[in-house]
Structure 1
Amino acid sequence: MPVHTPNRPVCHHCAGFCVAVITTGGRHRDGSRVLLRVVCNTCQGTGRALPAALLRAGR
């Protein structure tokens, strides 16, 4: 049975993958890796784009 989900506008800069985790190659004392989280500047980590009507504000 198909599942119908509402279409949400996806950010065209990150294609919905709004957070990337990058390893630096180093390790913590407990052996886990040192990671950097990079968030999409356009959608601020939400993965969704705002409609153009909401972006236009003012006169």
Structure 2
Amino acid sequence: MPQYAQNTPVCRDCDGFPVVAIATGTRHADGTRATLRVTCPTCKGTGHTAPAATLARAGR
């Protein structure tokens, strides 16, 4: 039987890449680059977003 993957919505702001390392251009004393780790503020570093709440239909 076929196995289906769960449909988890990807964050629209980071496209599923929630954490990035940005090089500052400087180097440490041992020669490695100084980097900053930045996480996506929308998904808080998970890469996924919660599905939108379904609208309740109000009627008679």
Normalization by structure 1: what TM-score? 0.75
Residue in structure 1 matched with residue 20 of structure 2 by the alignment? 20
Aligned Cα RMSD in Å? 1.7
Residue in structure 2 matched with residue 39 of structure 1 by the alignment? 39
Residue in structure 1 matched with residue 52 of structure 2 by the alignment? 52
Aligned residues: 52
Paired AA for residue 26 in structure 1: T
Identity percentage of aligned residues: 55
Distance 2:32 2:5 in 1: 37
Residue in structure 1 matched with residue 6 of structure 2 by the alignment? 6
Q: Which has the larger radius of gyration?
A: 2
Aligned with 1:52: secondary structure?
coil
Normalization by structure 2: what TM-score? 0.74
Structure 2 unmatched ranges of 5 or more:
54-60
Higher share of residues assigned helix: 1
| Divergent runs of 4+, >6 A | none
Distance 2:27 2:34 in 1: 5
